[in-house]
Structure formats: structure tokens, C-alpha cells
Copies of this chain bind each other. A is one copy, B any other.
């Protein structure tokens, strides 16, 4: 079990929505996990296989953080053996515009970047 993490509890630096959003998602990995879930990945091992090679303990930590914030939901999709799937909640799916604007900005301003073809659904 991943140990208690202050960042799990709601500690807002200010009432600013940008600051509060960054309190939840302001790190190098969280939005990448969300990007992958948008891209259709659902399991822990699929998430680990992304090209950015997220360290496994960080992935575990981010998944609990995101589920604490109800951005992601973890549910078993089979028993024997138990296997879990991670899916975006409606709240999580509404992060789409943030991701989309990052894709636009990145493609336009960072040479060598290329967005993947959009997944339907």
C-alpha cells in the first residue's frame, strides 16, 4: 500500500482555480497518466509501457492520488486472478480541453513533437 501522502488531502494554496488545479495536477506525470487513459489504456501494465517510462512507484502513487481526487476510478474487471482497470470519471474526462490545448501548444512551439492520431470514443 502506498503510504499517506499530504498531496492526497485537499490543501489549497489559494482560491485561484489555476493554483488549485496545479495542486492536483501540477507535476511531470499526472497529466501523462490521464493522457494515456484518454488514449484508451486501462491497466497498470499498459500505463507502464508508455514511452516516457514512468517509474512504477510513481505510477502507483499518481493512481491513488487521482482516484482520491475522483479523476480516475479503479475497478476490478475480473477475479481469478484479480485484474484492475483504471478509467476516467466524468470529472477526469473533462480534463480533455487542458490536454488538447497542451497538444496544440506543444506541436506549435516544441520542435520534434508529434501528436498521435486521435482515438475515437
Partner-B contacts on A (CB < 8 A): 12-24, 26-29, 31-32, 35, 50-53, 91, 94-95, 97-110, 112-116
Contact = CB atoms under 8 A, between A and B. Distances in A.
So how many copies of this chain end up in the complex?
Answer: 2
A31 B28 CA distance: 13
Contacts of A52: 13-14, 16, 19
Contacts of A116: 16
Nearest to A110: B20
A103 B15 contact: no
Given A22-B28, A112-B12, A17 B101 contact: no
Contacts of A109: 91, 94
A21 B31 CA distance: 11
A121 to B, nearest CB: 18
Contact of A35 (B16, B24, B107): B16
Contacts of A32: 16, 18-19, 22
Contacts of A31: 18, 22, 26
Contact of A17 (B50, B91, B102): B102
